[in-house]
Amino acid sequence: MAVIIKSTTPFEGQRPGTSGLRKKVKVFQQPGYLENFVQSVYDVIGDFSGSTLVVGGDGRYYNKEAIQIILKMAAANGFGRVLVGRDGILSTPAASCVIRKYEAYGGLILSASHNPAGPDEDFGIKYNIGSGGPAPEGVTEAIFARTENISEYKILEVDDIALEKIGVTQIGEMQVEVIDPVTDYAELMQSIFDFDAIRELLSGDFRMAFDAMHAVTGPYARVILEEMLGAPDGTVINGIAMDDFGGGHPDPNLTYAEELVDMMYGEHAPDFGAASDGDGDRNMILGSHFFVTPSDSLAILAANARLIPGYTDGIAGVARSMPTSAAVDRVAERLGIDCYETPTGWKFFGNLMDADKVTLCGEESFGTGSSHVREKDGPWAVLFWLNILAVRRVSVEEIVKEHWMLYGRNYYSRHDYEGVDAVAAEEMMAYLRSRFEKLPGNNFGERIVKACDDFSYTDPVDQSVSSGQGIRVLFEDGSRIVFRLSGTGTEGATVRIYIESFEHDPERHGMDAQEALSDLIEAAAIISRLQEFTGRSEPTVIT
Ligand code: VG1
Ligand code: CO
Which atom number of ligand 1 is nearest to the Cα of residue 363? 9
* Beta carbons of 123 and 20 less than 8 angstroms apart: no
- For 266, residues 6+ apart whose C-beta sits below 8 A from its C-beta are none
Nearest to 174 by CA among 41, 86, 82: 82
Total of domains in the chain = 3
* CB-based pocket (< 6 A), ligand 1: 18-19, 113-114, 277, 281-282, 321, 344-346, 363, 365, 367, 486-488, 496
Ligand nearest to the CA of 20: 1
Identify whether residues 297 and 369 lie together within a single domain. yes
Q: What is the DSSP string of 324-370?
A: S-THHHHHHHHHT-EEEEE-SSTHHHHHHHHTTS-SEEEETTTEEEE
Q: What is the pLDDT of residue 6?
A: 64
Note whether 251 and 366 are same-domain residues.
yes
Task: Kindly give the distance from the C-alpha atom of residue 526 to the centroid of ligand 1, in angstroms, as a whole number.
Answer: 26
Print pLDDT tens along the chain (543 aa): 566 666 655 555 556 666 789 999 999 999 899 999 999 999 999 999 999 999 999 999 999 999 999 999 999 999 999 999 999 999 999 999 999 999 999 999 999 999 989 999 999 999 999 999 999 888 998 999 998 888 899 999 999 999 999 999 999 999 999 999 999 999 999 999 999 999 999 999 999 999 999 999 999 999 999 999 999 999 999 999 888 888 889 999 988 999 999 999 999 999 999 999 999 999 999 999 999 999 999 999 999 999 999 999 999 999 999 999 999 999 999 999 999 999 999 989 999 999 999 999 999 999 999 999 999 999 999 999 999 999 999 999 999 999 999 999 999 999 999 999 999 999 999 999 999 999 999 999 889 999 999 999 999 999 999 999 999 999 999 899 999 999 877 778 999 999 999 999 989 898 999 999 999 999 999 999 999 999 998 999 898
- Which ligand places an atom closest to the C-alpha of 366? 1
Which domain does 490 fall in, by range? 409-542
Q: 345: phi > 0 → left, psi -120 to 50 → alpha, else beta; which?
A: left
Could you tell me if 299 and 281 lie in one domain? yes
**Could you identify the atom of ligand 1 that is nearest to the CA of residue 344?**
9
Q: Whose alpha carbon is nearest atom 13 of ligand 1? A: 486
Residue 96 known to be catalytic: no
Q: Which of 113, 321, 365, 370 is catalytic?
A: 113
Q: Which of 311, 296, 319 is nearest to 366 (CA)?
A: 296
Co-location of 174 and 289 in the same domain: no
Cα–Cα distance for residue pair 405/282, rounded to 1 Å: 27
Query: Which of 359, 379, 407 is the last residue before a domain boundary?
Result: 407
- How many angstroms separate the alpha carbon of residue 112 from the centre of ligand 2? 7
CATH number at residue 29: 3.40.120.10
Name the domain boundary from 351, 374, 407. Answer: 407
Dihedral in degrees, nearest 10, Cα atoms 84, 40, 111, 362? 100
Closest CA to 344 of 370, 330, 359, 364: 364
Spatial separation of the C-alpha atoms in residues 131 and 187, rounded to whole Å: 19
Computed from CA positions of residues 490, 97, 385, 503, in that sequence, does the dihedral angle turn out positive or negative?
negative
Q: What pLDDT shows up at residue 193?
A: 98
Atom of ligand 1 nearest to the CA of 281: 18
403 and 431 share one domain: no
Select from 255, 306, 244 the least CA-distant residue to 284.
Answer: 255
- Closest by alpha carbon to 156, among 72, 49, 40, 71? 72
Residues 45 and 10 in one domain: yes
CA–centroid distance for 494 within its chain: 17
**What's the start-to-end Cα distance of the chain, in Å?**
52
Cα separation, 267 vs 263, in Å, equals 8
Whole-angstrom distance, CA of residue 504 vs CA of residue 159: 64
- Ligand 1 center to residue 505 CA distance, Å? 32
147 and 87 together in one domain: yes
Sign for the pseudo-dihedral over CA of 132, 332, 356, 372:
negative
Whether residue 110 sits in one domain with residue 36: yes
One domain, residues 380 and 418: no
What local confidence, expressed as pLDDT, does residue 491 receive? Answer: 76
Cβ distance 402 to 395 under 8 Å?
A: no
Q: Which of 179, 206, 233 is the last residue of a domain?
A: 179
CATH number for position 523: 3.30.310.50
Distance CA 59, CA 86 (A): 10
Whether residues 434 and 497 share a domain: the answer is yes
Instruction: Bin 246: left if φ > 0, else alpha if -120 < ψ < 50, else beta.
Output: left
Residue pair 65/157 in contact by the 8 Å Cβ criterion = no
Whether residues 151 and 278 share a domain: the answer is: no
Same domain membership, residue 402 and residue 414? no
